[in-house]
Amino acid sequence: MAPTPAANDRTRVHVVSDVHGNARDLARAGDGADALICLGDLVLFLDYADHSRGIFPDLFGVENADRIVQLRTARRFEEAREFGTRLWAGIGTDRATAIEKAVRKQYAEMFAAFPTPTYATYGNVDMPPLWPEYAGPGTTVLDGERVEIGGRTFGFVGGGLRTPMRTPYEISDEEYVAKIEAVGEVDVLCTHIPPEVPELVYDTVARRFERGSRALLAAIRRTRPRYALFGHVHQPLVRRMRIGATECVNVGHFAGTGKPWALEW
């Protein structure tokens, strides 16, 4: 991948989100681009399309993975938590230690696959405290921050909002708003979660509304970036729609397709 060009040259950026363990395709995601942008969720805890993949089935088996997906899809979150608690008690291993060990293994593979330069922010299933150990000099981690690429300003807001799923990097609405405000007006607004629009937050396979951000929607309407890019919802009703002057694009299909979304100017 070529160095980021000067502002008067043509620029091509590839954008991915929800990588979920797909290191093979991630290693090629920057081919032909001047920079790669990753909007988080590197970790694969449980693949809803293939219950044999991820940390959960590795620890507890596919049959138990089938059961917990069934409970979550039915929005029986309390039963899912109780079921998970029983499974953890049965293996006699400290939960936090076992998960961190598995995440570290995945992070070593994921970060090694990032091309140079890569600009990345966290997803809701990521563990931000571990990222400094794995991000090499060619990877810039941004959260509530801005960077210029090819003469355009990109803003990054990572993580998700709190839900019954209780994934690792869910933050309060107030924290999320503060990061949006810190980014301010940009040409391209890059977030992990989508703005709170029904067509953008409903997952047609998981059969539920994921949590988007009303504050993000308000910021898009107020600051009018050229693009708002996000992931989180793997199979949305709509992958692309316009909100005022802003083209909103869901790029959260990388784990399944292995193909980045391209932005060129």
Let me know: does 9 contact 43? Beta carbons within 8 Å: no
Q: Which residue has the higher pLDDT, 23 or 46?
A: 23
| Domain range list for the chain | 12-42+116-258
The per-residue pLDDT for range 215-231, each reduced to its tens digit, is 999 999 999 999 999 99
d(CA 110, CA 31): 16
What per-residue confidence (pLDDT) applies to 34? 98
In sequence order, the β-bridge partners of residue 153 are: 148
Q: What's the CATH number for 12-42+116-258?
A: 3.60.21.10
Q: What is the pLDDT of residue 35?
A: 98
Specify the length of the chain in residues. Answer: 265
pLDDT in tens, 61-111: 999 999 998 998 888 888 998 998 899 888 767 788 888 999 999 999 999
End-to-end CA distance of the chain: 17
pLDDT band at 166 (very low <50, low <70, confident <90, very high): confident
Question: What is the C-alpha to C-alpha distance for residues 45 and 112, in angstroms, rounded to an integer?
Answer: 19
- Tell me: pLDDT of 264 over 70: yes
Q: Give tens-digit pLDDT for 172-217.
A: 999 999 999 999 999 999 999 999 999 999 999 878 899 999 999 9
The stretch 111-124 carries a mean pLDDT of: 98
CA torsion, ordered 62, 64, 70, 74, to nearest 10 deg: -150
Q: So what's the pLDDT on residue 245?
A: 96
Q: What is the dihedral of CA 61, 62, 63, 65, to 10 degrees?
A: 90
